[in-house]
Amino acid sequence: MCGIVGYIGEEQAAPILLDGLSKLEYRGYDSAGVAVYNGEEIQMVKSMGRLKVLNELTHDGAMLPGTVGIGHTRWATHGVPSDANAHPHLNKTGSIVVVHNGIIENYVKLKQQLTRRGYEFRSETDTEVVAHLLDYYYRGNPLEAITRLMHRLEGSYAFGIMFQDHPDEIYAVRKDSPLIVGHADTGSLIASDVPAVLKYTRSVYFIENGEIVRLTREGMQFYNIDEEEISKEPVTIAWDVNAAEKGGYEHFMLKEMYEQPKVVRDTFSPRLKNGDIVIEELGMTDQEIRDIGKLYIVACGSAYHTGMTCKYVFEGLARIPVEVDLASEFRYRNPILDEKTLVIIVSQSGETADSLAALREVKKRGIRVLGIVNVVGSSIAREADNVMYTWAGPEIAVATTKAYSTQLIAQYLLAMKFAKVRGEISQETLEVMLEDLERLPEQMEMLLSNKERIQRFANRYLAAKDVFFIGRGIDYAISMESSLKLKEISYIHSEAYAAGELKHGTISLIEDGTLVAAVLTQEDLFKKTMSNMVEVKTRGACVLAVTVVGNTEVEKNADYVIYIPKTNQYFTNSLAIIPLQLFAYYVSIGKGCDVDKPRNLAKSVTVE
Ligand code: M6R
């Protein structure tokens, strides 16, 4: 939800800002803008539309001289996407400029007060109050104006701020929206996320709530809200610089799907030792694991779907009752938690506003929270009691694929570990399961190599109006993820249904030619889902079946069959999702959609 960047150094700022914004465009792409101090004044260019419009307007930054500047890519919250609402925003004289990620919740009240004081507003955004409020408080000392501003604001923010009469400084400040800063050989940078600075430095500082940074060409100083200087330690980012590039693939989503075998292996292999699972970062003794009375898995979107799958895995293997909650519901529903509860928050970005709020709610009650997070040093990673990282590397496409796959692996590892420690599975069973786990990357590769066949099938459904995904148990969870994948990138209406529920209403939607994807990977549920498949087939549906190799019986009732290799019944999601991701991808590109940046969406949902 919006990306901010800033640079001050020896080089021309605008090209660096535009390059940084290109790495953050996944956070929002309604409009973009940059402001650069050109030696005399702050020069600003902003425009509705994708970053490429801004690149064209500025000749890739060449027409903006100056070595200090800030930039923004927007996901609209307050005010439609337009040139006027695009960031940066200026005070009345154009001497103070601001970019913002987040939401100022009390902006209406502040706007009324500022209007009464004679300030005029040029946009409908909440952010513009910040530029005017800074103007109101500014008496030549940026730090003082910023801290006074912070006392007035409610909501979430990460700001990049420049003052024309302090042309050798950029200020950055944060509350509840991500912000990092780093110092490279040629200058200092701010950004909403690591990929924007990776090319220049791997050593970054994660800014905490209420902290302010003053960046200069030589380095940076950190302050608290009382204007006292504080010290911070940098974190070294291990991500490969090329990991955030397309690397010859047409789209990030395709590249990330192809990275799945590797990142899945990267996630499990460091945690497998001599036939055992060692998760040091879990920070729990065997007795504490035995004492767990209940698990909550709390997340949003696809991360929530991994929880839906792993509920079956934790309950089936470790016999621990599990509730899976959407973070946006959990945080407001006063859940019943006690000291025997372990809450697992799953998040790729580690910044999802609802997941973070759910975590804080749980911690307030003194309950242990484990984060399963991809982005190192993100808010959820820092605030959870313990964090288990998924080693997916930077994920750029809005539709998650590789992070989703690693979230499954992290939870399989936990479930097997818990099952073993609690005496629910033997060492022998564990070893057999680990062999299956270690085979997954190779099996995923095999499924990915089948992409042309799936593309041909997908091309037949570019005009589909509705698609249904059905399954039972884990297959229902796979259906939920497959349905989300298809709808978010192809804009085709799609629903996932527990196959047994069809007859309770949804089956009336089936017409001649409606595509129904039936997922049948669970041996004990195979016959049941087969019957549901037959029911929709009889009513005219075209059936795509995804099942395990050997289940040739489905061919009688399916129009098209995709076979996945044999694996442990709890791991089938990791394989069945591959062809269904490919299906969604090829429908999307067949329809000419912007697969990496689907309309109305942003990668990191940092507002609730
Ligand atoms: O960063 P998170 O894992 O917390 O994000 C959660 C969801 O926003 C995310 O999975 C979203 O549903 C994706 N667009 C799905 O592809």
pLDDT in tens, 92-144: 999 999 999 999 999 999 999 999 999 999 999 999 999 999 999 999 999 99
- Ligand 1 proximity of 307 Cβ (cutoff 6 Å): no
> At 77, is the secondary structure helix, strand, or coil?
coil
- Ligand 1 proximity of 581 Cβ (cutoff 6 Å): no
Number of helices followed by number of strands (H, E) in the chain: 18, 27
Tell which atom from ligand 1 comes closest to the C-alpha of 301: 12
Nearest by Cα to 567 from 449, 431, 464, 443: 443
Beta-bridge partner residues of 37: 42, 68
CA distance 145 to 91: 13
Is 601's pLDDT higher than 90?
Answer: no
- Given a contact cutoff of 8 angstroms between Cβ atoms, the answer to whether 345 and 447 are in contact is no
Per-residue 3-state assignment (H helix, E strand, C coil) for 140-165: CCHHHHHHHHHHHCCEEEEEEEEECC
Q: Which of the pair, 50 or 370, is modelled with greater confidence? A: 370
> Which pLDDT band holds residue 76 (cuts at 50, 70, 90)?
confident
The single residue of 175, 420, 537, 603 carrying the catalytic annotation is 603
Substitution site in 253, 257, 297, 302 for ligand 1 pocket (most atoms within 8 Å of beta carbon): 302
Is 607's pLDDT higher than 90?
Answer: no
- Write the CB contacts of 543 (distance below 8 Å, at least 6 apart in sequence): 516, 517, 518, 533, 536, 537, 557, 558, 559, 560
State the average pLDDT over residues 547-570: 96
Res 184: pLDDT: 93
Res 416: pLDDT: 98
Res 603: pLDDT: 77
Res 160: pLDDT: 98
Is 75's pLDDT higher than 90?
Answer: no
| Share above pLDDT 90 across residues of the chain, in percent, rounded to a whole number | 87
Tell me, yes or no, if 603 is annotated catalytic.
yes
From the CA of 404, how far away is ligand 1's center (Å)? Answer: 9
Tell me, yes or no, if 2 is annotated catalytic.
yes
- Ligand 1 proximity of 405 Cβ (cutoff 6 Å): no
- Ligand 1 proximity of 300 Cβ (cutoff 6 Å): yes
Is 251's pLDDT higher than 80?
Answer: yes
Is 275's pLDDT higher than 80?
Answer: yes
- Ligand 1 proximity of 358 Cβ (cutoff 6 Å): no
The single residue of 2, 300, 310, 542 carrying the catalytic annotation is 2
From the CA of 355, how far away is ligand 1's center (Å)? Answer: 10
Res 468: pLDDT: 96
Is 583's pLDDT higher than 90?
Answer: yes
Report which DSSP code applies to 313. Answer: H
In this structure, what token pair is assigned to residue 341?
Answer: 């509860």
CA distance 281 to 296: 19
- Ligand 1 proximity of 379 Cβ (cutoff 6 Å): no
From the CA of 138, how far away is ligand 1's center (Å)? Answer: 39
CB atoms within 10 A of CB 103: 22
Q: Which of 24-38, 219-233, 298-312, 400-414 has the lowest mean pLDDT?
A: 24-38
From the CA of 74, how far away is ligand 1's center (Å)? Answer: 18
- Write the CB contacts of 87 (distance below 8 Å, at least 6 apart in sequence): 2, 4, 31, 33, 46, 72, 74, 98, 99, 100, 125, 127
From the CA of 300, how far away is ligand 1's center (Å)? Answer: 6
Give 517-545 pLDDT, tens digit per residue.
999 999 999 999 999 999 999 999 999 99
> At 561, is the secondary structure helix, strand, or coil?
strand
- Where would I find the beta strands (DSSP E) of 49-108? 68-74, 89-90, 96-104
- Given a contact cutoff of 8 angstroms between Cβ atoms, the answer to whether 396 and 381 are in contact is no
Question: Average pLDDT, whole number, for the chain?
Answer: 94
> Which pLDDT band holds residue 377 (cuts at 50, 70, 90)?
confident
Rg (CA), the chain: 25
Give 485-494 pLDDT, tens digit per residue.
999 999 999 9
| Share above pLDDT 70 across residues of the chain, in percent, rounded to a whole number | 100
Give 446-464 pLDDT, tens digit per residue.
999 999 999 999 999 999 9
Give 401-443 pLDDT, tens digit per residue.
999 999 999 999 999 999 999 999 999 999 999 999 999 999 9
Tell which atom from ligand 1 comes closest to the C-alpha of 355: 4
- Given a contact cutoff of 8 angstroms between Cβ atoms, the answer to whether 34 and 170 are in contact is no
- Ligand 1 proximity of 567 Cβ (cutoff 6 Å): no
**Residue 580 vs residues 203, 223, 264, 459, 577: alpha-carbon distances, Å:** 38, 49, 18, 14, 5
Is 354's pLDDT higher than 90?
Answer: yes
- Given a contact cutoff of 8 angstroms between Cβ atoms, the answer to whether 495 and 468 are in contact is yes
Is 241's pLDDT higher than 80?
Answer: no
